[in-house]
Amino acid sequence: LHNELLPGVLDKAAFGPSEFGLVHSIHQIYGSSKAGQLLTVMGRLFTAWMQRRGFTCGMQDLMITAEANRERRKWLEKANAHSMLAA
C-alpha cells in the first residue's frame, strides 16, 4: 500500500451526515460494510479521546453558591428594572 499524509481539518462536516463527508464517500466507494467498520472505529477513537482528554461534571460542579446566587439576583433585579423603564 502507498500511504500519503495529507494536511487538513477533519471537523463535524467531514464526519457528519453531509453529502460528501467521509462516511458517505467510504459508503459510495467501498460499500456499507466498510462504512459500518469506519463508524465503529471512529466511535472507539472518539470514546478513547474523551476518556483521556474529556472532563467530568459532578453535581457539586452544578450547584450555585450562596454568593453567586446573590450576585445573580442583583443582575436579575437590575434587568427587571431596565425592562420596566423600556416598557
At 15, give phi and psi (nearest 5°): -90, -30
What is the enclosing helix (H) or strand (E) of 86? helix 66-86
Any idea which residue has 500519503 for its cell?
4
Residue 67's pLDDT band, with cuts at 50, 70 and 90, is very high
- 54 vs 25, higher pLDDT: 25
% of the chain beyond a pLDDT of 90: 41
* pLDDT computed for residue 1 by the predictor: 66
Residue 29's pLDDT band, with cuts at 50, 70 and 90, is very high
Residue 33's pLDDT band, with cuts at 50, 70 and 90, is very high
Write the pLDDT tens digit of every residue in 50-59.
888 887 778 8
Quick one: CA dihedral 31, 32, 33, 35, positive or negative? positive
